[in-house]
Amino acid sequence: MPESPLFPADILQDNGALVHHNLNGSFSDSRYIKNKRDVRELQGEVVIAHEHRHYIDYHLTNYGSWLSRFWDQFKQGVPDLLVRGGRIPVPVTYFDDDTIVRALGLDRPDLTTPAGMAVRIASNHALRVERDYLISESWARAFNGPSQMEALATVFEVGPAEHFARGPLVANALMTMPRDQATWQRQYTWFGDVLAALGIRDVIKIGEDHQAVSTRIWGPFLLAAMMGKFSRLFAKELNAEPKLFGEIMPAGRLHAILNYAHQKRVRDLDDPDLAWDIVNDACLDLYGESVLESLSADIEFWEKRLMHGLQDIESLNPFMLGLIAHLETRKSVAARFAENPSSLYDPIEYWDKSQVGAHVLPEFMLASSAGFESIPDGYIQTSSMFYSSPDGDRANFIKPRVASAQHRELQAADEEATAISRFLISGARSRTWVGPERDRVRAWLQSRVDIRVIGPFG
Ligand SMILES: [Zn+2]
């Protein structure tokens, strides 16, 4: 099985202390690069920094929150989907394809059931993701939502190394990361090329002949592009106002904001605070709201909706709790952002002063395909069904120990539901499978329900 490029086994093996160090937000000295082992440590740290930033952006940006809500909503229909019987296509969105439904003899779930709702939510979501992608196809590189999420995480991955531990050894450590450089450029650092093409900002040189991507002004642009008004992303509104889609989803917004900066003759921008002012002017001009106003309006809208939806529910299932936890974490990240915006758009502030890493600790798991040689202090082997290892075998998945038994139960339910949902939505095509989880999920599903995995999703 091919490994995830983000989690090569040899990097994350036995580096619990390192991970912890990083999550405490202290990536600040150049001690890493004295020898080869240090280079591996630096590489390990930047991988974790990247994933950590994703976690923050799923809460901070309106787009990330839209994605998070989608998964929590889909999960609510999964138990019903699995017990109702009949064949399930992978991806489940094929339930909405008449040809596939006839060819496979599928029995479509009724829209009034949780399973039917989950399928409808998944189909709508897939169409919108696709349309966001199509808007950006007119450009040399697709800069849809997922690409923007990757570029933004890259800022906070490369930034610290770029600015705190400058020099050819660091550049070399980043360039010799065990990943495919062409993919890296296409999927992660593409935004530097776009800014360079528009003259807004060029790449910078590190050392004599090393060239690195300067990421310091990326944050404001990408954050502004991902703050669309998702409270209007409903079929009725979209049908009434065809332009609306491009004003909400990331590709259309980034396109418009860059166009605004280009029209205003912004050139050689190197100050992230100035970039922040420019994108706010752009957002006020284009959408009538500053970045922070868009964020607080989004939180307010979804909080009201969630509270209204929960009014008549007697007991909360784990996924409803997931929606509430998401909202609460969002509010705390947003408060920090409102108080000090640069602490979340400028990588220097982010790592140096704000210690955001110490305040927003993600729920996370570490994976190793080969198995961990030992389990670091403060970590335990993950015991939910796709992540536990047979007795005597090395643990493939570990996570921080949490004190509360109830919290552990919720975590386990969520781990399983997330993995099953990911398979039902994207099959093997999801880029986020780590270690043996994908094969375990597939085997589990195949042994219990009649799934038909279609084409490239297998
Ligand atoms: Zn990523």
Q: Closest Cα partner for 188 from 157, 160, 211, 221?
A: 157
Looking up tokens 């920094």, which residue turns up?
A: 49
Q: Over 50: is that where the pLDDT of 32 sits?
A: no
What is the CB neighbour count within 10 angstroms for residue 82?
Answer: 16
**Average pLDDT, integer, range 33-54:** 66
Ligand 1: centre distance to CA 275 (Å): 23
Ligand 1: centre distance to CA 150 (Å): 5
**pLDDT value at residue 22:** 35
**What is the overall mean pLDDT for the chain?**
80
Q: pLDDT, tens digit, for every residue of 55-101?
A: 889 999 999 999 999 998 999 999 999 999 899 999 999 999 999 99
**pLDDT value at residue 89:** 95
User: Which residues have C-beta under 5 Å from ligand 1, the single-atom ion?
Assistant: 150, 153
- Range in 106-120, 157-171, 303-317, 336-350 the model is least confident about: 157-171
> What confidence category does residue 4 fall into, taking pLDDT thresholds of 50, 70 and 90?
very low
Residues in the chain: 458
- Range in 123-132, 203-212, 373-382 the model is least confident about: 203-212
Ligand 1: centre distance to CA 352 (Å): 22
Ligand 1: centre distance to CA 54 (Å): 7
**Average pLDDT, integer, range 223-248:** 95
Ligand 1: centre distance to CA 344 (Å): 17
Ligand 1: centre distance to CA 180 (Å): 14
Ligand 1: centre distance to CA 229 (Å): 24
**pLDDT value at residue 41:** 63
Q: Which two tokens stand for residue 41?
A: 């440590």
Ligand 1: centre distance to CA 20 (Å): 19
CB 382 within 8 A of CB 399: yes
3-state SS assignment for residue 379: strand
Q: Closest Cα partner for 45 from 33, 57, 55, 60?
A: 33
Q: Which two tokens stand for residue 373?
A: 């040689």
For 139, counting Cβ atoms within 10 Å of its Cβ (0-12 exposed, 13-18 middle, 19+ buried), the class is middle
Ligand 1: centre distance to CA 58 (Å): 12
- Range in 228-237, 257-266, 289-298, 434-443 the model is least confident about: 434-443
CB contact burial 322-333 (16+ within 10 A = b; e otherwise): bbbbbbebbeeb
Residue spans of alpha helices (H) in 61-189 = 62-83, 98-104, 114-136, 145-164, 168-175, 181-187
**pLDDT value at residue 163:** 55
Ligand 1: centre distance to CA 53 (Å): 9
State CA 43 to chain mean position distance.
20
**Average pLDDT, integer, range 99-107:** 93
CB 93 within 8 A of CB 123: yes
> What confidence category does residue 229 fall into, taking pLDDT thresholds of 50, 70 and 90?
very high
For 147, counting Cβ atoms within 10 Å of its Cβ (0-12 exposed, 13-18 middle, 19+ buried), the class is buried
**Average pLDDT, integer, range 409-421:** 88
Residue-wise DSSP of 395-454: PSEEEE--S-HHHHHHHHHHHHHHHHHHHHHHGGG-TT--TTHHHHHHHHHHHHSEEEE-
**pLDDT value at residue 317:** 75
Task: Output DSSP code: residue 97.
Answer: -
**Average pLDDT, integer, range 142-150:** 88
CA distances from 169 to 15, 105, 181, 210 (A): 21, 59, 18, 10
Ligand 1: centre distance to CA 375 (Å): 25
Q: Closest Cα partner for 4 from 45, 51, 52, 72?
A: 51
Residues paired with residue 87 on neighbouring β-strands, in sequence order: 450
Ligand 1: centre distance to CA 434 (Å): 13
Q: Assess whether the previous peptide bond of 91 is cis (omega < 30° from 0).
A: yes
**pLDDT value at residue 371:** 81
Give CA torsion, residues 416, 132, 309, 227, to 10 deg: 110
**Average pLDDT, integer, range 310-318:** 77
**Distance between CA atoms of 408 and 396, rounded to whole angstroms?**
18
**pLDDT value at residue 208:** 52
Residue spans of alpha helices (H) in 111-144 = 114-136
Query: Left, alpha or beta for 229 (phi > 0: left; psi -120 to 50: alpha)?
Result: beta
**Distance between CA atoms of 215 and 151, rounded to whole angstroms?**
9
Q: Which two tokens stand for residue 122?
A: 């998944």
**Distance between CA atoms of 442 and 429, rounded to whole angstroms?**
12
Ligand 1: centre distance to CA 47 (Å): 9
**pLDDT value at residue 27:** 37
**pLDDT value at residue 31:** 42
> What confidence category does residue 377 fall into, taking pLDDT thresholds of 50, 70 and 90?
confident
**pLDDT value at residue 132:** 87
Ligand 1: centre distance to CA 127 (Å): 22
Ligand 1: centre distance to CA 51 (Å): 6
3-state SS assignment for residue 277: helix
Q: What kind and span of H or E run contains 358?
A: helix 356-359
- Range in 1-10, 62-71, 177-186 the model is least confident about: 1-10
